[in-house]
Chain A
Amino acid sequence: MSQKLIVKKLSKKYGSFTALESTDLILNAGEIATLSGKNGSGKTTLLTCIASLVRPTSGAVQIEGFDFYRDEVEFRRRLAFVPDTPRFYIELTAWEHLRFIAMANKILDGFSERAESLLENLGLWRVRHDYPHHYSRGMQLKLGLALALIRPFEVLLLDEPTSALDRQSQEVLLEKLQELKREGVSILMSSHDPHLIQDSGDRHFEISQGMLGEV
């Protein structure tokens, strides 16, 4: 099985506080890994460091051999990150957000069909021309997922994706994750939901005081 995501000695310090100890992690193609831990244990720090949204103090991340610092654009093309609290542009509607991501990723061919099917599945089709700041938290999370799923990627990072979703939407998400897994996408998601960890993960990691360990 090919290695999609390689994390080498990744660590993050805020002053004298160590948020993430030196961490190694490898995810293979088509693997779903779950990540759990107490509040403040370092889950989001690990995910944001892997996504290069936060500069790690040391270490490296590679996706299909592309290093963030050396091959930034190729790295970004292959990675999608969904935060637990997505933030949107206030002047753009949900549909325009999707269109913007498609334009920036140069994937406008067949955009309307893909966006329609995605929004239908997530239950956002009816409100696609609404401004996302009028959405509920659950709907905002779904739009955050849609922004990630509208484009191709090899590694998907999800930060507590089911925290604000209803039961039905959780099932849609799990179905979508299984579909991505079959396509060979590697997924790493943090969650507090024991059912999600048990049902969907091939591997499970636990993080405590910035130390990552496989369970």
Chain B
Amino acid sequence: MGAVGWLRFRQEKQELNHWLSYAFVPQERSWENTLYLIYLAIFFSVWWFVVLVFFAGGGATILTGINPEKPHLVAIIFELCAFLIWFVFAGYRGLRRSPVVFSEEDAYLVCQMPLNPRKVCLRWMLIPWLKSLLPFAIFAITLGFSLAEITLVNGEITITRLMAYASQGLQALLVCIPFHLILFTLVWVIGVLRMNARRMKRRPTVAVLVFGLLCLFLLSQIGNTLGLTPGILGSWYYPAVDFFLAGFGYRSLGVASMIGWCLAAICITLLWIISDQFSPSWAAQETKEIDRLKSLERYGFSFQARELRIKRRLRLRDNPAWTPGWEGPAALIWKDLLQYWRGFSGGDFFDLLFFISSMMGFIYLPTLSSRFFVIVFWAMQTAKLTTTRLQNDLSRWVIFKQLPMPRYQWILAELSVGSLLVGAVSLIGMALGSILAGRFLPVEVMLLPGMIVSVAGMASFDLIRKARTDLMLRGSSPTVSELSTVGGALCAGIPVILETLIKGWPGKLIAILASMLIAVLMLNFAVDALRTVDQP
């Protein structure tokens, strides 16, 4: 176990080093470097403090806006809701796969060894818990700061004022930590119970029961705070509410912390007891792909991570898809439609919502500068969505390169499905924006196709320009760079600028013509780039 403990320690150190490496060189062992680390810790603590104080203003407005009399109760509802949502997701995931995540290397090095499963289970808990705790800790401190903002009178920033913020934030954090540890451990208990039941070839009834009861418990706590559940049951039945009240200074913090840590210890003991039957090799079978996915995302291989996620989602086989009699470049459109359909995920849905909201903003906002700001973000998403299939096809270079069709037909077919999708959702956004703003802007609608094609053309040009055949033959393809996104935003913004600056119908006409001209130019760049792939 000593060797495995050491291995896990190395993994934890590597994980920490990865995050530190954004601003620090962990390998360098000198006192100057240690001093620099201390400086970084102080700098980022102050930075986070200032950022959260900044958020506290908004938080205070929301809390008092909902309930001016008892804003702390609103804060408790927010915190409990966050915990409930997370617990439902994490607990459900625990019912489907092992909570203990092993990498492919662990599967061979650790899980095959005759180790004490209890120790393995507990040893693997630290980093996942800390990572899971972080957003809750930030949220709790922000709520604490927001409540401090409400109680403090507006005025200069003084030491007393800062101490008040720090004190409220720390109190909120101190109750959040044990509460999160209790729930996190219970998620692992649910997962281990499920695995134990599967091992005995029984239904995971106990695991489901624990999950259901805990969800009900959290719901009842929220209900009580909202005044929906009977108060006659007394505070004994609503410990979580009392717990968070202590975090916001309405109960004894010492008692709450003590109870919290005692309960956490009990939960950890429970996990220790039940993980006697825990099978690391089984857990590795269920989770090694998850670990790979996380590694890919952590190191910036988003394209490969997306492919892995789709692979995991797709079944072994599928029924024959709709097969039209299309031929030539239309085959690419059919393939792209099929790929979009089968690869569509919840994340893509949120991307589409982004297009709707940004175009609503585009119509609603009155000034050129604010509109241009929207266009930059819209262009970033457009570049990503319209070139997804091109990027995918470049990574299947052997198939793609053997298709007998002219280059401009390739590019048009490749970009058409993504562009139409962006066009459709952007139009929905524009329509909603027009309803909200009470004005219809036909010129903006006419500018849209040119804007989309310009951004897509620029992004395609950038992708193909960076493409290298030796890498594409190995299944890897480049990603759209920030520079091309800025270029795309400029291309999309020029017609809007022209339309704003030149008044009357000549301005509108010039803007529409400019949007079309830029679009054709960008498409030509992309086609030409395809001709010169690999050319020095």
The 6 closest A-B pairs by CB, nearest first: A103-B331, A55-B534, A104-B331, A91-B342, A76-B404, A106-B327
CB interface residues, A 64-79, toward B, < 8 Å: 72-74, 76-77, 79
Q: Are B338 and A92 in contact (CB under 8 A)?
A: yes
CA distance in complex: A99, B339 (Å) = 14
Task: Report B323-342 CB contacts with A as 1/0, cut-off 8 Å.
Answer: 10111111110110011001
Q: List 11 A-B contacts (CB under 8 A).
A: A53-B397, A53-B398, A54-B469, A72-B407, A73-B405, A89-B339, A93-B320, A96-B335, A103-B328, A129-B317, A130-B316
Residues on B with beta carbons closer than 8 Å to the beta carbon of A108: 325, 327
- Chain B residues touching A, range: 35 or more
Residues of A within 8 A of B (CB): 14, 48, 51-55, 72-74, 76-77, 79-81, 83, 86-93, 95-97, 99-101, 103-106, 108, 127, 129-131, 133-134, 147
By a beta-carbon cutoff of 8 Å, the part of chain B in contact with chain A is 307, 310-311, 314-321, 323, 325-332, 334-335, 338-339, 342-343, 392, 395-399, 401-407, 469-470, 473, 475, 533-535
Is B398 a contact partner of A129 (Cβ separation < 8 A)? no
Q: Are B392 and A89 in contact (CB under 8 A)?
A: yes
Residue of chain B at shortest CB distance from A96: B321
Q: Is the CB of A55 within 8 A of B535?
A: yes
Chain B residues with CB below 8 A from A147, complex form: 399
- Given the interface pairs A54-B534, A86-B398, A91-B343, the reply to whether A133 lies near B320 with Cβ below 8 Å is no
Inside 8 A of B396's CB, which chain A residues have their CB? 87-89
A55: B residues at CB distance < 8 A: 469, 533-535
**SS class of chain A's interface: helix, strand, loop or mixed?**
mixed
Contact between A100 and B316, CB atoms less than 8 A apart: no
Main secondary structure on chain B at its contact with chain A? loop
Report whether A89 and B335 are in contact in the complex, using a CB–CB cutoff of 8 Å: yes
In the complex, given contacts A100-B334, A103-B326, A130-B316, what are 15 additional A-B residue pairs having Cβ atoms less than 8 angstroms apart? A51-B402, A54-B473, A55-B534, A73-B406, A74-B404, A80-B402, A83-B398, A87-B475, A89-B335, A91-B314, A97-B399, A104-B405, A105-B403, A108-B327, A131-B316
For B323, list chain A residues within 8 Å (CB).
96, 99
Q: Which residues of A contact B314 (CB under 8 A)?
A: 90-91, 131
Q: A101–B338 Cα gap in the complex (Å)? A: 14
B400, chain A: closest CB distance, angstroms: 10
Q: How far is the CA of A4 from the CA of B473 in the complex (A)?
A: 26
Contacts of A88 in B (CB 8 A): 396, 399
Are B317 and A131 in contact, with the CB atoms below 8 A?
yes
A73 touches B395 (CB 8 A): no
Contacts of A99 in B (CB 8 A): 323
